[in-house]
Amino acid sequence: MREIALVYLDRSGGLQKFVHDCKKYNDSKQSYAVYRFVISINPSDIAELDATLGNYILHSPIQAAQIFQSVCFIAIKTLSLIEQLQTEAQISVLLKPTHLPPLPSYVLSLSAFPFNYTSQRFYMSEGIVIAMGTVTKYTQGARFLCIEETCPFSEGFRYIRVHLPGATESATVRNDFVCSLCSSPLQEDMKFRVLGDKQIVEMIDAEVLNALKGYSNDQSHFRIQTFTVFLR
């Protein structure tokens, strides 16, 4: 699947954009713990190249991102795009689909039953924004080092933690991580913390418009509940 991912990036122009993004990182005088890449993908085009990879992207996007992460790392090392890069863990890939299949199973509607939205896959959701919070910072990535000076992992980029969709802040940054080699505590290197912007948005299903119009669909009882969306 890595070969198919590389072929798609080459044909779609994503590889050219990736090389351009790498050049910006390489030309920068700043040191990075995490190199973040946003890759636009067309699920239909990928499914035509390889149905397995297409389904993987649609239904297991976090695992699919790891395939593109591996492809990006190999490309950087092969073409010497970023001299400072040391480990594959330093690469963070965000897959951004251009669209999703126009099928009911890909539409997230909180006014329909059953809910059964337990899989971590892509969904489309439509609603009305009724409140917006202020833009705040969150940790996109962080570098940790073993506090035991004689441990090989007391330097370098062995322990890189990157925020994943749906994760809380504590999943990325905590003070109870331990070294897998010597079991000593890990300490964050604050110089390499990568911050991003996040905003909390309160939304309500578009079906509420029917209720506001006085249209009850022959239902004697109904309730309307908002849902929270994190924009990162």
Question: What are the residue ranges spanned by the domains of the chain?
Answer: 1-102, 138-196
Mean pLDDT confidence for 129-155: 95
* pLDDT at 143 > cutoff 90: yes
Mean pLDDT of 190-195: 92
Average pLDDT value for the chain: 89
Question: According to the model, what pLDDT value does residue 149 have?
Answer: 93
The model's pTM: 0.85
The predicted pLDDT at position 220 comes to 58
User: 1-102 domain in CATH 3.40.35?
Assistant: no
DSSP string spanning the chain?
-HHHHHHHHHHHTHHHHHHHHHHHHHH-SS--S-EEEEEEE-HHHHHHH-HHHHHHHHH-HHHHHHHHHHHHHHHHHHHT--TT---GGGEEEEEEES---SSGGGB--TTSS-----S----B--EEEEEE---EEEEEEEEEEES-TTSGGGSSSSEEEE--TT--HHHHS-S--B-TTT-PBEEE-GGG-EEEEEEEEEEEETTHHHHHTT--TT-S-----EEEEEE-
pLDDT higher than threshold 70 for residue 120: yes
